[in-house]
């Protein structure tokens, strides 16, 4: 594991800035009636200032869980070990009270379902003002109100002076997600975690929200962690991508690098199962098999039962994450250098 961290650190830092959030060897285990479920198994992840980091993976690959663990939002049945440093400040193992000043102010999070993420009994404006005042108790009501108006404008809500006094049920789904983003941007967080914010919305609204996140990111320079299982979304929004499989990192790299020169068979599999790419052959190429049960993850590389390139070594040894290919590209595959350069199917 130590190698992984070193390899990551050996990478030259981009001009955009240092890592604001450094996750090292994060492990999350849930105690269930069937036994211990390891949802995250030694995750290393860097979020750099002023970037959009996309995290892709199938359901249960540990995308959301790792982010919730960082914020201390997991239920008490979860055991969390490892390290997550926000600007050098360790977050893992903190008490709820200690995390409250971080949540919302330094690291904010928006969720999947905007329909239930706003409290139905309070006006939208009141909820935004509350989010502002939670971290600025001395701010006057007038200032907080004006700030809320500003935020509603920032997220593109038309006629904010009318909308600010309305209740969530008077908003459409897309507008509610906009309001959520306004609420979470209220305190200029350094990191905004977006946990599949477009999954519950229809395609046109999805595009608008993506545009909005990108727009807000460019204007505020907040680092954004965008969790999704949709590679199309990643292509549109992310600067860097981290592909997760079975609670571990499969591959990390710039978005162009991963889409054109992936060095991991899982990323390759995901790309070739995209309809747009498979269109050339006329047939979708799904990855064979199903994601592994996290109760009994396969030994060695967790992907080996489904991997077309798997060899004996893969069933025995976990591949370390190592630098390969393009600068800043890391792949956790024993045979990363043998992953064919051309896309399968072309």
Partner 1 sequence: MTDLQDLAVTTGAPGLPGGDVSSSESLGLEAKPLSPSRLAWRRFRRHKLAMLSSVILILITVLCVFAPLFTKYGPNQLIRVNGVKFALQHPQHGHWFGTNERANDMWSNVLYGGRVSLAVGITVALASTAFGTVVGVLAGYYGGWLDDVLMRITDLFLAIPFLIALILLTDLPASQPWAQTIIGPSHSVRSIIFIIAILFWMPVARILRGLVLSLKEKEFVEAARAAGASNARIMLRHLVPNCTGQIIINTTLAVAAAIVTEAALSFLGKGVDIFTPTWGNLLGNNQGFLESNPALVLAPGFAIVITVVCVNFIGDGLRDAFDPKQLSV
Q: Which stretch binds partner 1 (CB under 8 A): 10-18, 39-47, 119-127, 226-234?
A: 119-127
Q: Interface residues for partner 1 in 202-261 (CB under 8 A)?
A: 204
Binding residue for partner 1, selected from 2, 15, 121, 290, defined by CB under 8 A: 121
Binding residue for partner 1, selected from 24, 48, 135, 147, defined by CB under 8 A: 135
Angle at 100 between CA 23 and CA 118, to 5 degrees: 100
Q: Interface residues for partner 1 in 92-111 (CB under 8 A)?
A: 96-97, 100-105, 108-111
Of residues 116 and 316, the one with the C-beta less far from partner 1: 116
Torsion of CA 73, 79, 83, 86, to 10 degrees: 10
Q: Which stretch binds partner 1 (CB under 8 A): 127-135, 276-284, 305-313, 328-336?
A: 127-135
Q: Interface residues for partner 1 in 151-210 (CB under 8 A)?
A: 158-159, 162, 165-167, 169-170, 180, 183-184, 204
Q: State both tokens at 263.
A: 């060095």
CA–CA gap between residue 60 and residue 294 (Å, rounded): 8
Q: Which stretch binds partner 1 (CB under 8 A): 112-120, 245-253, 301-309, 331-339?
A: 112-120
Our finding on whether 148 is near partner 1 (CB under 8 A) is: no
Q: Which residues contact 37 (CB under 8 A, 6 or more apart)?
A: 29, 30, 294, 295
Asked whether the beta carbons of 115 and 205 are under 8 A apart, the reply is no
Cβ at position 180, least distance to partner 1 in Å: 7
End-to-end Cα, the chain, rounded Å: 36
Our finding on whether 73 is near partner 1 (CB under 8 A) is: yes
Q: Is 207 exposed, middle or buried (0-12, 13-18, 19+ CB in 10 A)?
A: middle
Q: State both tokens at 8.
A: 């990551």
CA–CA gap between residue 300 and residue 314 (Å, rounded): 6
Q: State both tokens at 276.
A: 């747009």
Of residues 98 and 317, the one with the C-beta less far from partner 1: 98
User: How many residues sit close enough to partner 1 to count as binding (CB under 8 A)?
Assistant: 40
Our finding on whether 130 is near partner 1 (CB under 8 A) is: yes
Of residues 116 and 215, the one with the C-beta less far from partner 1: 116
Of residues 132 and 270, the one with the C-beta less far from partner 1: 132
Q: What is the CA radius of gyration of the chain?
A: 21
* CA 255 centroid distance within chain: 14
Beta bridge partners of 192: 108, 224
Q: State both tokens at 223.
A: 């680092």
Cβ at position 100, least distance to partner 1 in Å: 5
Of residues 6 and 170, the one with the C-beta less far from partner 1: 170
Of residues 130 and 143, the one with the C-beta less far from partner 1: 130
Max CA separation in the chain (angstroms)? 67
CA–CA gap between residue 301 and residue 73 (Å, rounded): 29
Of residues 45 and 194, the one with the C-beta less far from partner 1: 194
Of residues 160 and 261, the one with the C-beta less far from partner 1: 160
Asked whether the beta carbons of 286 and 299 are under 8 A apart, the reply is no
Our finding on whether 112 is near partner 1 (CB under 8 A) is: yes
Give contact residues for partner 1 (rule: CB under 8 A): 71, 73, 96-97, 100-105, 108-113, 116-123, 130-131, 134-135, 158-159, 162, 165-167, 169-170, 180, 183-184, 204
């Amino acid at each position: 594991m130590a190698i992984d961290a070193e390899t990551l650190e050996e990478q030259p830092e981009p001009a955009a800035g240092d890592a604001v959030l450094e996750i090292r060897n994060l492990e999350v285990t849930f105690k269930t009636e069937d036994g211990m479920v390891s949802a995250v198994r030694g995750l290393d992840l860097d979020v750099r200032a002023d970037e959009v980091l996309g995290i892709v993976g199938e359901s249960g690959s540990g995308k959301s869980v790792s982010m919730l663990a960082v914020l201390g939002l997991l239920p008490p049945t979860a055991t969390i070990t490892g390290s997550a440093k926000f600007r050098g400040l360790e977050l893992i193992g903190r008490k709820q009270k200690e995390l409250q000043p971080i949540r919302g102010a330094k690291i904010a999070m928006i969720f999947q379902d905007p329909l239930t993420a706003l409290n139905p009994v309070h006006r939208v404006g009141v909820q935004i003002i509350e989010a502002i005042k939670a971290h600025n108790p001395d701010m006057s009501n007038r200032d907080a109100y004006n700030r809320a108006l500003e935020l509603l404008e920032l997220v593109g809500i038309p006629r904010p002076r009318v909308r600010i006094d309305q209740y969530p049920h008077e908003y459409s789904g897309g507008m509610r997600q906009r309001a959520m983003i306004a609420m979470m941007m209220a305190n200029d967080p350094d990191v905004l975690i977006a946990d599949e914010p477009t999954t519950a919305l229809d395609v046109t609204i999805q595009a608008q929200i993506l545009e909005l996140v990108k727009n807000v990111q460019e204007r505020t320079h907040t680092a954004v962690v965008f969790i999704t299982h949709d590679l199309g979304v990643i292509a549109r929004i992310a600067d860097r991508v981290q592909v997760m499989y079975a609670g571990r990192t499969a591959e990390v790299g710039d978005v162009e690098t991963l889409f054109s020169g992936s060095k991991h068979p899982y990323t390759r599999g995901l790309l070739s199962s995209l309809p747009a790419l498979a269109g050339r052959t006329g047939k979708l190429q799904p990855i064979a098999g199903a994601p592994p049960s996290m109760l009994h993850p396969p030994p060695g590389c967790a992907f080996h039962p489904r991997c077309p390139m798997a060899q004996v070594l893969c069933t025995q040894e976990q591949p370390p994450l190592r630098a390969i290919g393009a600068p800043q590209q890391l792949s956790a595959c024993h045979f990363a250098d043998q992953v064919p350069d051309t896309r399968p199917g072309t």
